[in-house]
Amino acid sequence: MTEFVNWLHHDTAGLLLLAGVGIAVLLVLIIKVKLEPFIALLVVGVLVALAGGVSVQDLVGSATKSSDAIIEKGFAGILGHITVIIGLGTVLGAILERSGGAEVLLGRLVKIFGEKGTPLAMGITGFVLGIPVFFDIGIFVLAPLVYVAAIKGGKSLALYALPLLAGLSVTHAFLPPHPGPVAAAGLFHVELGWIIIMGLACGIPAWFASGILWGTWIGKRVMVNVPEDSVIEESDEAKALGDPGLGTVLLAIGTPMILILGGTFGNIALPDGGLRTTLQFLGNPAIALTVAVLLAMWLLGTRRGMSRDELAELTSTSLRPVGMILLVVGAGAFFGAVLGATGVGKAVADSLSTAGLPLLLSAFVISAGMRIAQGSATVAIVTTGGILAPSVLAAGYSQPQLALIVMAIASGSVIASHVNDGGFWIISKYFNMSVKDTLKTWTVLETVLSIVGFGMAALIWQFV
């Protein structure tokens, strides 16, 4: 028995078996037993940690010191980043819905692309707006458009959500100023211009295949209803005033994106000092969304006849579903942290890096293994880049080739999003999908995106 335990804790095959069994049990508890995902993630995370040799003190801390405990760090790591963003983004989305602003923007997109082209319009919106904003912020700000599209179209919420999510996902993995590609560019000493060029060359086909082709096909076959507590009726005062102008709506949506983008590029292009500091402050996602919410409250609320009591009620109503979203996302991050603490991620990386595969394929496979093992696309990119950087830099590759290696890593980093990925739970809860439906739609979408992105990198590699 002791030998088996040692094998389970220290051998790569044992660690992978532990992770596989843990994920299988988790899926059974959620899908078959119907246990609330938040509770199932906690239970399985604790069991996997103990079975994987994590000490009780490391897992839960001591009576005098618990801040370093995995259970607290797992929750705090992601919730510290997204809690304020989710809250503010939800309020901003509610104001857009109540004022009729979301319908104005959707109406213009539908007018351009036609009723049948609404999913394509959603995909383009996700791709364009996903460049300056983080993946989760894009979901929180743009989700109201998806809800309105599904209500007006009378079709599955998935049909409109998946193209949008593909656009947000591909920009998060492939393009600056997102942290993964920027970090990889630094590790491999690649100019960001080449990352942008290759990111677009690999990312656009991957977005089209996963979001438009797969997303519209599966979206017609998986029926998902708009969550009732996410539909906010337009107020009587707003109806009396008519629809807000498109420019006003775009200002409300675009303000956080412009501020975040300004902070990013100010940090890159400007010297230390006043303007750079100001842009960094305003470009912080929490500050940018606070400014956007206050602006939207005035432009789409107070200025159009909405009372302070109405705004307070709207804010309170919109935030009610947020608690369960935060609990599930935090528990998912805890489960991912447990897999990291048991050594699963390192075991995957070490075994794949010694497999003797061609460089581009190695970059993709190592990144994919890291993604499947621990859930985070950014962590997969950064870890894989750190593993490969010494040998890649010594080989003297050109800038375009180095950028393609980054694209191969980025492609692997988005494959098979599943229950250890915080984004999986955000999408499941925000778009009212069961775990089974999220696996059928979002997980497959990410896998299609990953494979097509890598295929494009491998194809372009032949000509550079």
Lowest mean pLDDT across 123-127, 158-162, 336-340, 430-434: 336-340
The pLDDT score that the predictor gives to residue 437 is 96
The pLDDT score that the predictor gives to residue 9 is 58
pLDDT at 129 over 80: no
Lowest mean pLDDT across 68-82, 226-240, 371-385: 226-240
| Rounded CA separation 7/402 (Å) | 38
The pLDDT score that the predictor gives to residue 260 is 78
Q: Most confidently modeled of 177-186, 333-342, 362-371, 386-395? A: 362-371
- Asked if residue 7 lies in contact with residue 14, where contact means CB atoms within 8 angstroms, the answer is yes
The pLDDT score that the predictor gives to residue 352 is 58
Q: Most confidently modeled of 16-20, 107-111, 133-137, 146-150? A: 146-150
Average pLDDT over residues 346-364: 75
302-330 pLDDT, tens digit per residue, is 888 788 888 888 888 878 777 777 787 77
Of residues 386 and 81, more confidence is placed in 386
Mean pLDDT for the chain overall: 83
- What are the residue boundaries of the structural domains of the chain, listed by start? 73-322
Average pLDDT over residues 77-100: 77
| Rounded CA separation 314/297 (Å) | 10
Structure tokens at 330: 């935090």
pLDDT at 66 over 60: no
**pTM for the whole thing?**
0.72
Q: Classify residue 419 as left (phi > 0), alpha (psi -120 to 50) or beta.
A: alpha
Lowest mean pLDDT across 32-41, 98-107, 183-192: 98-107
- Asked if residue 270 lies in contact with residue 276, where contact means CB atoms within 8 angstroms, the answer is yes
The pLDDT score that the predictor gives to residue 416 is 94
The pLDDT score that the predictor gives to residue 398 is 93
The pLDDT score that the predictor gives to residue 246 is 82
The pLDDT score that the predictor gives to residue 40 is 85
pLDDT at 384 over 70: yes
HEC string of the chain equals CHHHHHHHHHCHHHHHHHHHHHHHHHHHHHHHCCCCHHHHHHHHHHHHHHHCCCCHHHHHCCCCCCCCCHHHHHHHHHHHHHHHHHHHHHHHHHHHHHHCHHHHHHHHHHHHHCHHHHHHHHHHHHHHHHCCCCHHHHHHHHHHHHHHHHHHHCCCHHHHHHHHHHHHHHHHHHCCCCHHHHHHHHHHCCCHHHHHHHHHHHHHHHHHHHHHHHHHHHHCCCCCCCCHHHCCCCCHHHHHHCCCCHHHHHHHHHHHHHHHHHHHHHHHHCCCCHHHHHHHHHHCHHHHHHHHHHHHHHHHHHHHCCCHHHHHHHHHHHHCCHHHHHHHHHHHHHHHHHHHHCCHHHHHHHHHHCCCCCHHHHHHHHHHHHHHHHCCHHHHHHHHHHHHHHHHHHCCCCHHHHHHHHHHHHHHCCCCCCCCCHHHHHHHHHCCCCHHHHHHHHHHHHHHHHHHHHHHHHHHHCCC
The pLDDT score that the predictor gives to residue 378 is 79
Average pLDDT over residues 125-134: 77
pLDDT at 65 over 80: no
Of residues 445 and 116, more confidence is placed in 445
Q: Most confidently modeled of 206-220, 362-376, 387-401, 410-424? A: 206-220
The pLDDT score that the predictor gives to residue 313 is 87
The pLDDT score that the predictor gives to residue 285 is 79
Of residues 403 and 148, more confidence is placed in 403
The pLDDT score that the predictor gives to residue 168 is 93
